[in-house]
Amino acid sequence: MGLPNASGDLSTEVEVDAFRRLFPLRLYEKHLLESIRPDARPLGRARETTIALGAVASANGSALAKIGSTTMLAAIKMEVMTPSLETPDEGCIAIDFHMPPICSPIVRPGRPDEAAPVVAKQLSDTILSSGMINLKELSLVSGKAAWMAYLDIYCLDVDGALFDTALLSVVAAFSYLEIPVPVVSLNDDGKIVLSEEQGLSDREPVNKEKRKINLSSIPFSLTCVLHKNYILADPTAEEESIMDTIVTVVLDSSSQLVSLHKPGGTVLAYTSAIQDCIALTRQRVKELQKILEEAISGMEVD
């Protein structure tokens, strides 16, 4: 008695899958009429999000962030450098975004993905414009020594919301970052030297203990896709590929607008649509703040 039903269910699944492959937009539009997606997710709801701090033991700060299936690993390595003449009292952050072939079948070996430099530039602009990090905190000795934070983000899996997940992993990594004690001292001439290499380990170091970096105006983002009169929050890769327009809104922890990115598209982003995207982002910021706070609290308990 069960075989005919099982066979019928299987054939139905095959038909739905075939229709989805041939006419993905028509399938979505049928669901949009009922304000729901094919995966039963409401239009304004983001996917399950998780953060794991301290994912890389050898890094000074690291975090693994997941939004749906999209997975990012951010790692920060601190090194002492000589600050530039233009900013003698500031450190520096160098950002590199990696998309290895393992993250997606569309990424080919031997050639960097086109999205990688775009995401890296977006991350750099967001970190600097939000004011999350005061670069003066990275200074050791004015004009002579400062910290260089090498930030590497590795994309391990891609299913939409590339920038959102990357930014979340970066924010989490900096939240976990512990600035190490530098092995540098001032010699008799007032110059910065590596204490251990110069045999000056008996001299007092510039920085005596590890410390956390103060973060303010922490940025969070939400990507939405616009299709006709519909707005879908936190789109999958499939939704991004078939919908008309993508809009990414970045707000800080005080709900102040940091940036808005719209890379082309056929649908005009009207004022009402932008306002709706910002409203959805405000809700999302509260969710992400709570997830980050729980991850930090969990590490403190451990």
pLDDT of the residue at 44: 92
Share of the chain above pLDDT 90, in %: 51
Single out the residue of 124, 95, 119, 122 nearest to residue 107, CA to CA. 119
Single out the residue of 113, 208, 128, 209 nearest to residue 170, CA to CA. 128
Range of the domain at 167: 49-300
pLDDT of the residue at 215: 92
- 232 and 28 Cβ atoms separated by less than 8 Å: no
Question: Can you give the CATH number for the domain in which 173 is found?
Answer: 3.30.230.70
- Structural domain contains residue 30: no
Range among 6-20, 60-74, 210-224 with highest mean pLDDT value: 60-74
- Structural domain contains residue 207: yes
pLDDT of the residue at 10: 42
Single out the residue of 53, 25, 57, 54 nearest to residue 38, CA to CA. 25
Residue 54 scores a pLDDT above 80: yes
- Structural domain contains residue 129: yes
pTM of the model: 0.85
Q: Which of 68-82, 133-147, 256-270 has the lowest mean pLDDT?
A: 256-270
Alpha-carbon separation of residue 33 from 18, 29, 224, 238, 247 (angstroms): 21, 6, 18, 18, 22
In the structure, what pLDDT confidence band is assigned to residue 105 with cuts at 50, 70 and 90? low
- Structural domain contains residue 288: yes
CA-based R_g, the chain, Å: 23
